[in-house]
Structures are given as structure tokens and as C-alpha cells.
């Protein structure tokens, strides 16, 4: 046990140090590499980010207090056992209410950027459009895109800080902490390297699917389960099994990460005929003979493995490995969480109460008095 605690402490110090380094980079380094079309200068960008972080703190407090007070009144007035009577239960409900509010708000903003502003974008349906023209030539003249990125960076900085120092700790505390750090890194990399289009898709897949998770947790804390409460917890849980599997594993894993992140940049930016490449050695680069840019893009003839073997790295796709490995690491975490959901589902099938199943698989010590 002593060795475990020592290792755990060392890992926590390492992760916390990485977090503060990321925050330092966000304020000192990232503003120096703003994408084309950003209406702010370096100092202005750093100032706006700091202002967003500062404004989020009182906003979080207001959302938590209002949601906590409202839920506590409902719990006292209409629930038999008053599930939010304990301070820790109410605290967890307030934490999750804030998450629900921010995920719903950000999903709305991301949908506006992707589907409404400027008539909408084909980024999700056509992976090649993420990389045409080259990211260094893309001009992101939608103000909404830059607003989204600044707010998201501020949210994840504040959320990671809160997760480490203020919130109740669940069984997946360490993995969630790593998830926060990876997300901050991805937001920073995608913004400074011009990979903004795929970055918007990553954010949308995560925020939209988290709404159901937040509803599941809040209803579980309120113990709105069984026939007397219209099986709200159970319905949220079953809904989450579908939405999480579809959005986090299929859409994010296949369409965003594999097609958009691993395949598309190599097929598009390293194809014969694309700017800076030319027509030489088309086959060895994984493109079929007779490949015509851009007409042949997406016809299924491109071989990713051949392309990687011939050109492991290339100046046309800077940060290819770091960006894609970070995105892929999120998939691994998604799978682990998804398996946890299925273990909880098994407990529900064996007639275990929903809140008890959640306690055993997720809440852990955070549910102790």
C-alpha cells in the first residue's frame, strides 16, 4: 500500500506540473501563433483568455448555488429519503449541474459554428475539406470560431483546476485528470497549427455526448429511479449506451480521428498534384496510379500504410503524430468508460438499484460519508 501511495503521489505531482506548464503555454506561447483570421493580437488574446477564466469562476459559483438550492428544495419537498440532504451528495449534484450547463451551452455554440454561421460547413461530411486549402492557408474569418476556442480553453483550464483541487474524487479521477490535460493540449495545438476545422469536430463530439452523461449523473444523485420516478435514471443510462457508443466510438473514432485525422491530411496534403508535392513517386506515397488532385480524393484508392511507410514525417503535415496520437488516446479512454457503463448495465440487470450500481463502479470513495 505504501508503494502504491508513493507511486500515486508521484503521478499526481507529474500531472499537476504538466497542467501548470500547459496553462503557462496558453498565456505566453499560444498567443504568439494565432491562426489567420483571428481578430486579436497576441497581448489581446492573452488578456481575453485571462478575462474568460476570471469570469468563469463567479459564473460557476452562481450556476452551482442556483442548481443546488433548487434541487435541494425539490429533494426535501418531493423525495422520500431526501437524497440531497447530505452535504457531499449536494456538492456532487452541483458539480454535475455546472457540467451540464457548460456542455449544453458549448454544444449550441459548436452547432452554430458548424451548421449555421456563414451557411454551415461541410467539415463533418467531407474529411478532405478539413485540409483544403492547406491549414496554413486557411483564413478563419468567422468570429464565432475564435470565440469558441477562447472560451473552450478557459473552460478546460478552470475545469482541470477545479477537478484537481475542489471537486469530489471518483474512481476515474486519474483518467479524467489525464483527459483534461490531453484536451487542453489538443485545443492549443489545433488552434496554433491551423487545424481549427477538425478541432471544432472534436469539441462537438465530446460536448454533445456529455449532455446525456450529465443528465444520467444528476438524476442518479437525486435517485430518480424505479417505477415511482418513471425510471428516469434507467432511461438516461440506456440512452447513454447508444449516444456514447455512436458519438464517442463511431463518429469520433472513425469519422473524426481515423478519416479526418489519420487519413485525410496524408491523402490530401501529400498527394501528387497538391501544392508543394508534385507528381513524383505517386504509387510509393500510397496514391493509386493516375491519381488526380483533387478529383481522386476520397475514392478509396489511397493506402494510408504505404504512405506512412514512404513518408513517416513530412513538412506539409507538421504535428501529424503528436496531434493524432493525442486524439487517439482519447479513444482509449472512451472505450474504458464505455466498458464501465456496460458493467453498470449488468448490475442493473441483476436487480441492483441504479444508485448502488453507480456507487460500486464510479462513485467509489466519493460516496462515503
348 is a domain residue: yes
307 is a domain residue: no
358 is a domain residue: yes
pLDDT of residue 177: 87
Label residue 35 left, alpha or beta by phi (over 0 means left) and psi (-120 to 50 means alpha). Answer: beta
pLDDT of residue 225: 86
pLDDT of residue 281: 55
From residue 363, alpha-carbon distances to 16, 32, 220, 342, 358 in Å are 22, 41, 11, 16, 6
Q: At what angle do helices 320-349 and 173-192 cross, to 10 degrees?
A: 150
203 is a domain residue: yes
110 is a domain residue: yes
Backbone phi, psi, residue 302, to 5°: -75, 135
State the CB neighbour count (10 A cutoff) for residue 321. Answer: 12
pLDDT of residue 161: 87
152 is a domain residue: yes
pTM, two decimal places:
0.90
Return per-residue pLDDT of the chain as tens, 369 residues: 333 333 477 888 888 899 999 999 999 988 889 999 999 999 999 999 999 999 999 999 999 999 999 999 999 998 888 999 988 889 889 989 999 999 999 999 999 999 999 999 999 999 999 999 999 999 999 999 999 999 999 999 998 888 777 776 777 778 888 999 999 999 999 999 999 999 999 999 999 999 999 999 999 899 898 888 888 988 999 999 999 999 999 999 999 999 999 999 999 999 988 887 765 555 678 998 888 888 999 999 999 999 999 999 999 999 999 999 999 999 999 999 999 888 888 877 776 655 565 555 555 544 544
294 is a domain residue: no
pLDDT of residue 291: 87
User: Terminal CA-to-CA distance of the chain, rounded, Å?
Assistant: 23
Burial class (CB in 10 A: 0-12, 13-18, 19+), 131: buried
Q: What is the largest CA-CA distance in the chain?
A: 75
Separation CA 105–CA 289 (nearest Å):
47
Backbone phi, psi, residue 308, to 5°: -65, -40
pLDDT of residue 280: 53
State the CB neighbour count (10 A cutoff) for residue 223. Answer: 21
Separation CA 24–CA 185 (nearest Å):
12
Separation CA 327–CA 323 (nearest Å):
6
Domain count along the chain = 1
Q: Hey, is 56 helix, strand or coil?
A: helix
Label residue 278 left, alpha or beta by phi (over 0 means left) and psi (-120 to 50 means alpha). Answer: left
322 is a domain residue: yes
Domain of residue 22 covers 11-270+314-367
Separation CA 125–CA 122 (nearest Å):
6
Amino acid at each position: 500500500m505504501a508503494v502504491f501511495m508513493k507511486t500515486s503521489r508521484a503521478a499526481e505531482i507529474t500531472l499537476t506540473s504538466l497542467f501548470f506548464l500547459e496553462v503557462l503555454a496558453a498565456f505566453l506561447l499560444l498567443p504568439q501563433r494565432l491562426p489567420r483570421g483571428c481578430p486579436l493580437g497576441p497581448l489581446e488574446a492573452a488578456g481575453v483568455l485571462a478575462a474568460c477564466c476570471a469570469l468563469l469562476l463567479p459564473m460557476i459559483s452562481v450556476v452551482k448555488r442556483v442548481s443546488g438550492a433548487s434541487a435541494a428544495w425539490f429533494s426535501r419537498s418531493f423525495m422520500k429519503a431526501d437524497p440531497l440532504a447530505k452535504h457531499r451528495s449536494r456538492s456532487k449534484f452541483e458539480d454535475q449541474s455546472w457540467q451540464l450547463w457548460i456542455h449544453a451551452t458549448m454544444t449550441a455554440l459548436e452547432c452554430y459554428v458548424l451548421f449555421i454561421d456563414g451557411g454551415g460547413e461541410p467539415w463533418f461530411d467531407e474529411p478532405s475539406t478539413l485540409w483544403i486549402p492547406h491549414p496554413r492557408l486557411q483564413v478563419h474569418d468567422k468570429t464565432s470560431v475564435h470565440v469558441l476556442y477562447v472560451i473552450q480553453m478557459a473552460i478546460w483550464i478552470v475545469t482541470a483546476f477545479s477537478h484537481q483541487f475542489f471537486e469530489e474524487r471518483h474512481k476515474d479521477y486519474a483518467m479524467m485528470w489525464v483527459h483534461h490535460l490531453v484536451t487542453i493540449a489538443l485545443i492549443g495545438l489545433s488552434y496554433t497549427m491551423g487545424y481549427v476545422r477538425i478541432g471544432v469536430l472534436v469539441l462537438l463530439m465530446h460536448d454533445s455526448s456529455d449532455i446525456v452523461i450529465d443528465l444520467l449523473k444528476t438524476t442518479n444523485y437525486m435517485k430518480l429511479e424505479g417505477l415511482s420516478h418513471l425510471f428516469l435514471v434507467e432511461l438516461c443510462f440506456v440512452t447513454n449506451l447508444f449516444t456514447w457508443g455512436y458519438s464517442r466510438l463511431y463518429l469520433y473514432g472513425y469519422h473524426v480521428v481515423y478519416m479526418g485525422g489519420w487519413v485525410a491530411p496524408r491523402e490530401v496534403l501529400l498527394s501528387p498534384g497538391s501544392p508543394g508535392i508534385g507528381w513524383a513517386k505517386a504509387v510509393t506515397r500510397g496514391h493509386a496510379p493516375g491519381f488526380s488532385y483533387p478529383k481522386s480524393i476520397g475514392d478509396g484508392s489511397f493506402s494510408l500504410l504505404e504512405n506512412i511507410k514512404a513518408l513517416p514525417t513530412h513538412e506539409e503535415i507538421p504535428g501529424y503524430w503528436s496531434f493524432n496520437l493525442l486524439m487517439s488516446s482519447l479513444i482509449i479512454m472512451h472505450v474504458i468508460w464505455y466498458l464501465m457503463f456496460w458493467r453498470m448495465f449488468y448490475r442493473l440487470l441483476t436487480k441492483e438499484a441504479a444508485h448502488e450500481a453507480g456507487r460500486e463502479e464510479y462513485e467509489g470513495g466519493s460516496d462515503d460519508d
